[in-house]
Amino acid sequence: MLFGKTILITGVASGIGARTAELAAQLGAEVIGVDVRAPSQHLASFIQGDISSADGVAEIARRLPKRLDALANVAGLSGNTGIAQTLAVNFFGLRALSEAVAPRLREGGAIINVASIAGYGWRANLDRAKRLTSVEGFPDVEKLAAEHGLKNEEGYPLSKELLLLWTMRAAHQPLFKDRGIRVNAVSPGPVETPILQQFRTVLGDARVDSDITRVGRAGTAADIAPAILFLCSDGARWINGANLATDGGLEASINAEVLGF
């Protein structure tokens, strides 16, 4: 279902992004990779770029072809670099790239955002998430964090809360909806990637170990990539504004505990 499609994938130098790019190519897609570091694997095309600033996003967009079939927003930070950088990459940069790419996506194309089970709390923090996702453009994130009293330890979960809320909003925004562009998310739990140790530092061993224990093992990049690429495909043409929990049942377990059923 991906043969002949052109897919833009961010974060291709390692982890989930690298496996997604590899599998997409095996399934017949032409992959354009984006990362701050060059990948070790061969890609049809690679753009070395940084989505942590408006200028960085604009430079990436300038180098893209006129037509794309899908965008997979895989690049992300663990939160260990502070809240401003984390929000800049995981939400504001990702959103800016999606908006810049939208005119190049074919009608019926797709955007897939890699969120996280860490964004589970968006409902409990809805007012804050609504305020922050309503900020237009690419703000001064340091200033924004100070104005809203945001703490460094909140960076990663907050970025994923915002991403999940925006995914649902974007699915119905004219920029995407008027051309039939689907916007969906996947939410992994703990995944054995090079930054898992960083998550342990940011979220704590107890949280990570508890999540792994609930489902029996950590995920792998090979567990997540097929879900991303399914949402890129025409097989997902009637899925829009959804969040696919690719976590071995972790969200279901948390729901059972939180909701008491």
- 105-114 and 182-188 strand pairing: parallel
Beta strands in the chain (DSSP E): 6-10, 30-35, 45-48, 68-73, 105-114, 182-188, 243-246
d(CA 10, CA 71): 8
Name every residue whose Cβ is closer than 8 Å to that of residue 109 and which is 6 or more positions away in sequence.
68, 69, 70, 71, 179, 180, 181, 182
Name every residue whose Cβ is closer than 8 Å to that of residue 235 and which is 6 or more positions away in sequence.
1
- Of residues 46, 156, 166, 176, which has the active-site annotation? 156
d(CA 261, CA 259): 6
156 as an active site residue: the answer is: yes
Closest CA to 29 of 225, 239, 240, 238: 225
Q: Which residues are catalytic?
A: 156
